[in-house]
Structure 1
């Protein structure tokens, strides 16, 4: 495959024997793969404990790859600590934050704003970008004020944009985006990218693939697009050689990797989950925000953590990049990893 083509697959994880033996991973000295596996294990185990806490669950976040379980009462704190996790006592449950976020979702026609859950601060964080009109900014601030200290409003520089521009990855002859993941449906091979790319229509090509047809395209709301892959499945791998074998759940504080045809590889940290982002093309729901640097032409490219795929790039600005969760794309289209 062309080195610019982003394909799917995954490195071998820690052996079950090593995990069973209680091998401890030092975050400061761990290899990238070992660190990713530590994060994945911590997220899965902490998530299971948090889910068992009911109203006492404030959510989970990571610190240097290790999970912190936030709790709203002493009983939940005792249970989480008994399971071996660091805890933080907070005011708002995760269910309450989700309800606040969904309440803000009723605010419409406010481009260049967003809101999502930051479990680390135990708040819904509202971002208003400089490009937002005074009317939109005032509308969002007024809505946020109704929820008291469960919401934090931040002013951000620049303008949010969905990343479509000339480049050399997958193109319909007019616009260029990046391929996210190779997937299958009903045993047939497909390519997953951003919906705001496939919304542009046309026949796509890139690397050794030509004549790729659009079979699914969802944007706004979601940001998913599915293309045929005429040349068959073949081995799937990020262009670094990294294999992806599972679908992960983005978690605040999680260290991730990304790939795109314009900016190439890079890293970042998840800063928010379940974010509603008001791009000029419309509202994209359930995005996760990151500190990864991306640019025009990277749209549709993958975010991943070791062998776990996390999402495909929607866009952002110079400080924040937003990705649509791979788990939602897989479920919506009935896909399997290639």
Structure 2
């Protein structure tokens, strides 16, 4: 295919595709407006983007009494777990507008249990994270964990003691999701672009999955096209799954918006920390827009290629080709980059994401154009359809039907979803060896997902 250069036009990086699970409007103006009634004993209502800051403040104030937190989305309240029944601790929590919840396991106890799991149960196909809603570690083993491997995991969980951890079996296979979001191509691989950023040296760049960054050094925005970006840094496996890819043309304008289809996009305002219970949206080149909730933080995932730590666990679905795509909130918070998981968007499953905040800190990058290109005021101007509500169900049916920034050409990513095909390693939900998948090709559906963003393929 001919290569389409993008200097001087917005690289309207459809920061990941938010897959709507049949939810109502994606953008609900003022739906999460923070309120305070002035009564310290009455819980405040919080925007989901704000709870992590309050939780962090309370964690530093409460010390060992703090045992985790989560967002009660139904009531828009922040719940703080505490060990013991100290009235002073409860008063501090209530003065901050949060809800105190007494639990059994301290943070230290759960951290010690996680260390035991790392030592005794680091087996490919397993994962674990702390679930603050149950105050336990949630351990999952996929369909490949059988026989002695299953017995090892099961006995390790049991030996942690009652009420410390739970073990469940996943029908799918834990794997990285090669191919993805707004499609980008490297060698024979396809990935999704996550978010446009400005590198520490002021040059335009984007973030994508680290397993995409180690698969190929150069990336294109069209299958078989000339390279437009080069990998600068990549981490995978290990302490994360992220890579920074710099655009080869320094005139590229890195717009900070996520294309959600039908001519609309979500302006990305800031990188935010994930909170358990928070509603999030994912965009990917294979499956388009989907939504779900954060279910765990600081997750450890044992992929076939190695162990990755520090991930966000969600119940959002994803499939091969969605790797690197963006995870964000309805009010414009950049949350994560698609890493991997199990299941698919037909039967459902779980997906893990690299926190954007960690990736930015590690690479020295900042969201959006900064001084290198279009400013925040320009980013996405007019892309969001006058700021109106977005209908994710329509977007899910035809994710990215219009790409306002892609030279005016209509894009039908559903073609990629319908034919995740040849190159989408893992077609049919089988176990995927990302290295093999990378070689296996960027199948036929790859052209179909070139939105305003560029993503990196694993």
State TM-score, norm by structure 1. Answer: 0.86
The change in CA–CA distance for 1:194 and 1:55 in structure 2 (over 3 A counts) is same
Instruction: State which of 100, 115, 138 in structure 2 corresponds to 1:87.
Output: 100
| Alpha-carbon distance in 2 for matches of 1:130, 1:105 | 20
**After superposition, what is the alpha-carbon deviation per residue over 1:211-243, rounded to whole angstroms, capped at 9, x for unaligned?**
311111211112111211124234221113212
Q: Quick check: 1:298 aligned with 2:325? A: no
Instruction: State which of 248, 251, 276 in structure 2 corresponds to 1:252.
Output: 276
Instruction: Name the stretch that deviates more: 255-264 or 139-148.
Output: 139-148
Q: After TM superposition, give the deviation of residue 39 of structure 1 in Å.
A: 1.2
| Alpha-carbon distance in 2 for matches of 1:291, 1:7 | 16
| Alpha-carbon distance in 1 for matches of 2:248, 2:154 | 49
| Alpha-carbon distance in 1 for matches of 2:226, 2:48 | 34
Instruction: Name the stretch that deviates more: 62-71 or 199-208.
Output: 199-208
* Higher radius of gyration, 1 or 2: 2
**After superposition, what is the alpha-carbon deviation per residue over 1:52-78, rounded to whole angstroms, capped at 9, x for unaligned?**
111111111111232111111222233
The change in CA–CA distance for 1:95 and 1:51 in structure 2 (over 3 A counts) is farther
Q: After TM superposition, give the deviation of residue 108 of structure 1 in Å.
A: 6.0
Instruction: State which of 207, 213, 229 in structure 2 corresponds to 1:212.
Output: 229
Q: Quick check: 1:314 aligned with 2:344? A: no
Query: Which consecutive unaligned segments of at least 5 residues does structure 2 have?
Result: 1-9, 18-26, 39-44, 344-348, 369-458
Query: Which consecutive unaligned segments of at least 5 residues does structure 1 have?
Result: 24-34
Instruction: State which of 239, 242, 245 in structure 2 corresponds to 1:224.
Output: 242
Instruction: State which of 166, 178, 188 in structure 1 corresponds to 2:192.
Output: 178
Kept in 2: contact 1:7–1:237 (CA 8 A): no
Instruction: State which of 357, 366, 389 in structure 2 corresponds to 1:336.
Output: 366
| Alpha-carbon distance in 1 for matches of 2:297, 2:16 | 24
| Alpha-carbon distance in 2 for matches of 1:122, 1:244 | 32
Kept in 2: contact 1:294–1:321 (CA 8 A): yes
The change in CA–CA distance for 1:82 and 1:156 in structure 2 (over 3 A counts) is same
| Alpha-carbon distance in 2 for matches of 1:280, 1:20 | 46
**After superposition, what is the alpha-carbon deviation per residue over 1:17-39, rounded to whole angstroms, capped at 9, x for unaligned?**
x868869xxxxxxxxxxx9x711
Instruction: State which of 123, 129, 132 in structure 1 corresponds to 2:145.
Output: 132
Matches within 5 A, 1:237-276: 237-240=257-260, 241-276=265-300
Kept in 2: contact 1:172–1:204 (CA 8 A): yes
SS in 2 for 1:242: strand
Q: Quick check: 1:187 aligned with 2:202? A: yes
Deviating 4+ runs (over 6 angstroms): 20-23
Q: After TM superposition, give the deviation of residue 126 of structure 1 in Å.
A: 0.8
| Alpha-carbon distance in 1 for matches of 2:110, 2:172 | 27
1:327 — aligned with what? 357
2:159 — aligned with what? 146
State TM-score, norm by structure 2. Answer: 0.64
**After superposition, what is the alpha-carbon deviation per residue over 1:73-122, rounded to whole angstroms, capped at 9, x for unaligned?**
22223331243322211011223222322332224651111111101100
Count of equivalent residues = 320
Q: After TM superposition, give the deviation of residue 198 of structure 1 in Å.
A: 1.4
RMSD, matched Cα: 2.7
| Alpha-carbon distance in 2 for matches of 1:22, 1:143 | 47
Kept in 1: contact 2:277–2:294 (CA 8 A): yes
2:7 — aligned with what? none
Q: After TM superposition, give the deviation of residue 144 of structure 1 in Å.
A: 2.1
SS in 2 for 1:153: strand
| Alpha-carbon distance in 2 for matches of 1:192, 1:314 | 12
Instruction: Name the stretch that deviates more: 46-55 or 286-295.
Output: 46-55
| Alpha-carbon distance in 2 for matches of 1:244, 1:107 | 41
Q: After TM superposition, give the deviation of residue 49 of structure 1 in Å.
A: 2.0
The change in CA–CA distance for 1:166 and 1:293 in structure 2 (over 3 A counts) is closer
1:29 — aligned with what? none
SS in 2 for 1:217: strand
Instruction: Name the stretch that deviates more: 65-74 or 131-140.
Output: 131-140
The change in CA–CA distance for 1:120 and 1:19 in structure 2 (over 3 A counts) is closer
The change in CA–CA distance for 1:98 and 1:21 in structure 2 (over 3 A counts) is closer
Kept in 1: contact 2:80–2:101 (CA 8 A): yes
| Alpha-carbon distance in 2 for matches of 1:163, 1:325 | 16
